[in-house]
Structure 1
Amino acid sequence: MQLSKLLQELDSLLAPHKVKDFSPNGLQVEGKDTVSKIITGVTASQALIDVAIEKNADAILVHHGYFWKGEAYPITGMKKRRIGALIKNDISLIGYHLPIDVHPTLGNNAKLAELLDIEYEAGLDPYSDPSIAVKGRLKTPLSAEEFADKIERVLNRKPLVESVRGKNIETIAWCTGGGQGYIDLAASQGIDAYLTGEASEQTIHSAREQSIDFFAAGHHATERYGVKAVGEYLAEKFDLDVEFIDIDNPV
């Protein structure tokens, strides 16, 4: 498959023009013109690049790529080693950040909901389309302890839990990754619980003072599934060799 055609397909599928992001979406480092083997992963770490080289991949597709707003411009040190390895081995790096979070069927929020038996209802922010955080309800109401056990079982990650309500959870809002800042918006709508990847110091106070159960299940653990789903979509539609590599990260 031509690299240009692959990029056109991904842009059509993920619609990066619809979201204001913190990094460029699409091709970040250009490799060979033809793509037959793709490695997918959460972050374009050196470990993922090394696997791609070992497996003779033509391209890497990730959720967390390079060139984030506010980072230093010089290509030195770790950045030089990563980009140098891609260029030396003629491997393209393709990254989609928020577009992979918000895709209605293949995105991180959508896939996490499937795994945890959550029914999607609407975006959490009525003034944002698409909304980065979303809301819905558990298919079966659970206590905070039962829901935490389910998260640990399904994601293989023990979540940080702040249980304050003492009642079963019915309604829930969620945002994968570093979405802890949306807890106040969820609380303002009277939602029972909020689920994300990370927690900040003030998040716990927000949960306690606004009576909303809070769960942080890990940035990496909540964002493994979107890029994997996008890769599986490409493999099925274009008969490409696509392999998801999970480089473990405890955060």
Structure 2
Amino acid sequence: MANLNEIIQWCNQTLKTHEFKDYAPNGLQIEGNIEVKKILCAVTASQDAINAAIEQKADLLLVHHGYFWKGEPYPITGMRGKRIKTLIKNDISLLAYHLPLDSHPTLGNNAAIAEILDLENLEALDPTERNPIGNIGDLKTAMSPDQFKNYVSEKLGFDAIHLPAEKTQIQKIGFCTGGAQDFISKAAAMNCDAYISGEVSERTFYEAQELNVHYFACGHHATERYGVQRLGKAISEHFNIEYSYFELNNPI
């Protein structure tokens, strides 16, 4: 058993949340039971994830995508109201970390992508950032665009969408998980052969051609299911409490 406030303090310090300007509050979003025996991790605080936390008797739901995003309406009604009511009724805390969990050099989503794809010579996608949100890495052996599409699809368990460029070989890869398709311009500025993110926009097709950077959309969910698992495991080991991961295979 662990104290909720001690878990929050440890997470905030580990992820350096105070150093980020984010689109939603990082840390505790809904307060439940102060004593935590079990944590359930999920990418998004959906109703299915909340129901799984109830079924598994979790005291804390740890997610990458929580609530109270910038620009959201203030009233707690409708779908979000139902979710929050369910958490409060069942005394389950909601703990969410967004950009700090993308950026962390060992626990983060981007760190996981680098390991899964076996990239080396890692550096920041944007060297001006204090805590880089995206990264660059090299394949040990260059691949053709088709070879790389098959490689990344297999490694990430997602049928990647490939928007082609003129380059015939891919070795230097820029990547930033989730909805960071517009960072393709940063990848071009850093002379990357390809850029990976989760989602894709209509404009990205033209940007890939005109910037001459192959773009691979590998799923917002698929690229961001690693950070919460790594953080959940780290909390579990530090505080000696149980954790599990809830997977809802979102195709986006």
What residue in structure 1 maps to residue 231 of structure 2?
230
Distance (Å, rounded) in 1 between the aligned partners of 2:241 and 2:139: 36
| Pair 1:86-2:50 in alignment | no
- Unmatched segments (≥5 aa) in structure 1: none
Q: Are the equivalent residues in 2 in contact too, given 1:25–1:97 (CA < 8 A)? A: yes
Q: Are the equivalent residues in 1 in contact too, given 2:110–2:175 (CA < 8 A)? A: yes
What residue in structure 1 maps to residue 204 of structure 2?
203
- Unmatched segments (≥5 aa) in structure 2: none
Aligned CA RMSD, in angstroms, stands at 1.0
What residue in structure 1 maps to residue 110 of structure 2?
109
Shift of residue 210, structure 1, vs aligned partner: 1.5
TM-score (norm 1): 0.97
Shift of residue 189, structure 1, vs aligned partner: 2.3
Q: Are the equivalent residues in 2 in contact too, given 1:120–1:134 (CA < 8 A)? A: no
Q: Are the equivalent residues in 1 in contact too, given 2:112–2:226 (CA < 8 A)? A: yes
What residue in structure 1 maps to residue 191 of structure 2?
190
- Regions of 4+ moved over 4 Å: none
Q: Percent identity?
A: 48
Q: Are the equivalent residues in 2 in contact too, given 1:39–1:243 (CA < 8 A)? A: yes
What residue in structure 2 maps to residue 220 of structure 1?
221
Shift of residue 166, structure 1, vs aligned partner: 4.2
How many positions carry a matched residue from both structures?
251
Structure 2 counterparts to residues 1-251 of structure 1, below 5 A: 1-251=2-252
Distance (Å, rounded) in 2 between the aligned partners of 1:243 and 1:120: 32
For residue 207 of structure 1, give the secondary structure of its aligned residue in structure 2: helix
Distance 1:48 1:144, change over 3 A: same
Q: Deviations along 1:135-193, whole A, 9 cap, x unmatched?
A: 12112221111111112212221010022234221111000000111101111222111
Distance (Å, rounded) in 2 between the aligned partners of 1:135 and 1:172: 6
For residue 94 of structure 1, give the secondary structure of its aligned residue in structure 2: strand
Q: Deviations along 1:40-89, whole A, 9 cap, x unmatched?
A: 01000000000000111100000000000000110111011100000000
TM-score (norm 2): 0.97
Instruction: Supply the AA of the counterpart residue of 1:8.
Output: Q
More deviation, 214-223/160-169? 160-169
Q: Are the equivalent residues in 2 in contact too, given 1:58–1:91 (CA < 8 A)? A: yes
Shift of residue 5, structure 1, vs aligned partner: 0.5
Distance 1:121 1:54, change over 3 A: same
Q: Are the equivalent residues in 2 in contact too, given 1:34–1:58 (CA < 8 A)? A: yes
Instruction: Supply the AA of the counterpart residue of 1:228.
Output: Q
Distance (Å, rounded) in 1 between the aligned partners of 2:241 and 2:140: 35
